[in-house]
Copies of this chain bind each other. A is one copy, B any other.
Amino acid sequence: MPKQTFLNLPEEKRAKIEQAAINEFTAYSYDQASTNRIVEAAEIPKGSFYQYFAGKKDLYRHILDKILERKMEFLTPVMANPMEMDFFQLLRETYVAGLRFATSNPELQQISQRLMADRNHPVFVEFIQDNMGKADDVFRQLIQLGISRGELREDLDVAFAAHIISEMNNSVADFYKSYVKQTMDDDYLNMVDKLLDFLRRGIGSSEQVGS
């Protein structure tokens, strides 16, 4: 957590520092990011930086918190009323909300992606596992709900399915990027629909074959 000194700062100055940090972490991985550069961009002396934060890690966590907060602004409205939509509609809205976040906050998305990429980095394992665990839980509940409503196969391995869907949720933005590059189709609604169709029906032909 930032020190009180930082929180006491006039909002303008605080915002400038945060923005400098966001720019740095957008351009460089955590390890490569430089407090010197941040300090320079924020136009504050090196010493002041250490009045505000315990160090690089502290600043990074602060930025992650801000990102999570912002992402939740997109996600919570979707999750608010799970009973009004079926499973796939809900999942669709979830993925779409993630993509809306990603396209309207490209720097923050970039930082999140770096975070997921470096997910075994000692500095963030804790943060990651906490949040991914929560996501798995949410999806597990949604799947249970979907099964009980007859929207999903009854013989699903719930935890396994939850994990897959949660992983897809993480990689959907990344996936979208390469989708656009390949197909020149930048409408993420198309992509999400295709993805959900895969998830729903699989890719096998209808002729049933024993596993």
Contacts and interface: CB of A to CB of B under 8 A. Distances in A.
A201 B202 contact: yes
Contacts of A200: 202-204, 211
A50 B167 CA distance: 42
A126 interface: no
Interface residues of A, number: 42
A207 interface: yes
A187 interface: no
A179 B163 contact: yes
A85 interface: no
A205 B204 CA distance: 14
A161 B201 contact: no
A181 B99 CA distance: 29
Given A163-B182, A197-B211, A200-B204, 10 more contacts: A152-B205, A159-B182, A161-B198, A161-B203, A164-B195, A164-B198, A196-B211, A199-B202, A200-B203, A201-B204
A124 interface: no
Contacts of A167: 171, 175
A148 B32 CA distance: 49
B194 A157 contact: yes
A183 interface: yes
Best-buried of A193, A204, A207 by chain B (most CB within 10 Å): A204
Contact of A150 (B153, B160, B193, B205): B205
A154 to B, nearest CB: 8
A93 interface: no
A88 B203 CA distance: 10
A29 interface: yes
Contacts of A175: 163-164, 167
A117 interface: yes
A81 interface: no
A122 to B, nearest CB: 11
Contacts of A137: none
